[in-house]
Amino acid sequence: MEIIDPCIPLALLPPGSVARILNGPDREYRDLPAIVTPTGRVISRWTFSEDERARIAAGEDVYLTMLSAGAINPVSLRVGVCDWSQP
């Protein structure tokens, strides 16, 4: 799985949303290109390799791993673009 530029149509984002690179070069993790909305959403986009797509099509599940200090933040996994401008 690879991180790619979110490239979200502006009409689908609330006003005031900004493109950012989260983490930065001197941090422990890879940079994450994302869109940050004024409502606190952080939107990133990922693409699957052909092998990963075949495995998903064959019924394998997708797992989300979050590093936290015990508190779980709400997350949302989606296929395709949605309208993030709506609350």
Indicate whether this model's pTM tops 0.75.
Answer: yes
pLDDT band at 24 (very low <50, low <70, confident <90, very high): low
Q: Is the dihedral of CA 66, 55, 2, 6 positive or negative?
A: negative
pLDDT band at 61 (very low <50, low <70, confident <90, very high): very high
Q: Which of 28, 8, 26, 30 is nearest to 17 (CA)?
A: 8
For the cut 80, the answer to whether the pLDDT of residue 63 exceeds it is yes
For the cut 70, the answer to whether the pLDDT of residue 14 exceeds it is yes
8 A C-beta contact, residue 41 and residue 20? no
8 A C-beta contact, residue 5 and residue 75? no
The number of residues making up the chain comes to: 87
Q: Which pLDDT tens digit goes with each residue over 27-53?
A: 777 788 899 999 888 999 999 999 999
Q: Which pLDDT tens digit goes with each residue over 70-79?
A: 777 888 888 8
